[in-house]
Amino acid sequence: MATDSPLIIALDYSSLDAALCMADQLDPKRCRVKVGKELFTRSGPAVLEALHGRGFEIFLDLKFHDIPNTVAGAVQAAAEQGVWMVNVHACGGRKMMEAAAKRLDDHRLSTHLIAVTVLTSMQAEDLRETGIDDTPEAHVLRLAALTQQSGLGGVVCSAQEAAQIKSLFGNDFLKVTPGIRPSFAAANDQERIMTPSDAMRVGSTHLVIGRPITQAKEPMMALASIEAELAG
Ligand code: C5P
């Protein structure tokens, strides 16, 4: 059951039960869900099956980074389990990304394959310690270009980067943006935040939203206010 919604709800839970309890309060016609490393490591593919069974499209956020053949196999495994989107680390390089994209093509798998450029937790000093003297901003653009040249469909990026990525790499290159805070929500530990409508206005194609919805008393009410904000 496909949805046109740009909203992807992050199911950041440590158990299958907790994740499904939240999913059962959401409507798969009005959002997708994101499964990350902790939930997947604890629950395994069972969480994918359970969410698919409820009609959700899934972004499997495992950020693969390894030798090309290993990443291609992991991406194929994700796609064969029917996930809507999966991601890799762009710093794994061109050969890794091309191998992953080719594997999906060869098997006619239509799962969206996107890349993480620079983790937002990395600052200039952290990059320098790994041998990269570019600013984080310049490195993001370099890796986004490499991602596109390697045949991937988009990147995870902050809303602050979305406009530039859109102007350099086009509308169709997906820009999946976390760090979203509706006007009614607390910032939590996110530092550089943007509202859903501002993030869409500057070029995000999808918005990853966690706590503003998962910690709301009425998750679907929170989702409805975000939809209203986007429509307004
Ligand atoms: O609860 P919140 O809306 O902050 O959740 C955002 C989600 O997006 C989390 O799953 C978090 O891991 C993810 N994320 C992020 N910032 C990034 C990359 C991913 O917040 N730069």
Q: Is residue 1 part of a domain?
A: no
Characterize 146-159 residue by residue with b for buried, 16 or more Cβ atoms within 10 angstroms of its Cβ, and e for exposed.
Answer: bbbebebbbbbbbb
Q: 64 - beta bridge partners?
A: 88
Q: Is residue 227 part of a domain?
A: yes
List Cα–Cα distances, 101 to 16, 40, 49, 95, 171, in angstroms. Answer: 30, 22, 24, 10, 20
User: Are 211 and 198 a contacting pair, CB within 8 Å?
Assistant: no
Q: Is 40 annotated as a binding residue?
A: no
Atom of ligand 1 nearest to the CA of 120: 21
Q: Is residue 119 part of a domain?
A: yes
Residue 192: per-residue pLDDT: 83
For the chain, the domain total comes to 1
Q: Is residue 2 part of a domain?
A: no
C-alpha of residue 107 to centroid of ligand 1, in Å: 31
CATH number at residue 20: 3.20.20.70
Over the chain (232 residues), the average pLDDT of each successive run of 10 is 92 98 98 98 98 98 98 98 98 98 98 96 95 96 98 96 97 97 90 93 98 97 96 89
Give 22's DSSP letter: H
28 lines ligand 1 (CB under 6 A): no
Q: Is 54 annotated as a binding residue?
A: no
Residue 1: per-residue pLDDT: 58
C-alpha of residue 190 to centroid of ligand 1, in Å: 8
Q: Is residue 212 part of a domain?
A: yes
Characterize 94-115 residue by residue with b for buried, 16 or more Cβ atoms within 10 angstroms of its Cβ, and e for exposed.
Answer: eebbbbbbebbeeeebebbbbb
Cα 48 vs. chain centroid, distance in angstroms?
16
Residue 150 DSSP SS3: coil
Q: Among 17, 27, 37, 63, which one carries the catalytic annotation?
A: 63
pTM above threshold 0.85: yes
Rounded-to-integer distance, Cα 219 and Cα 21, Å: 11
Range of the domain at 97: 7-231
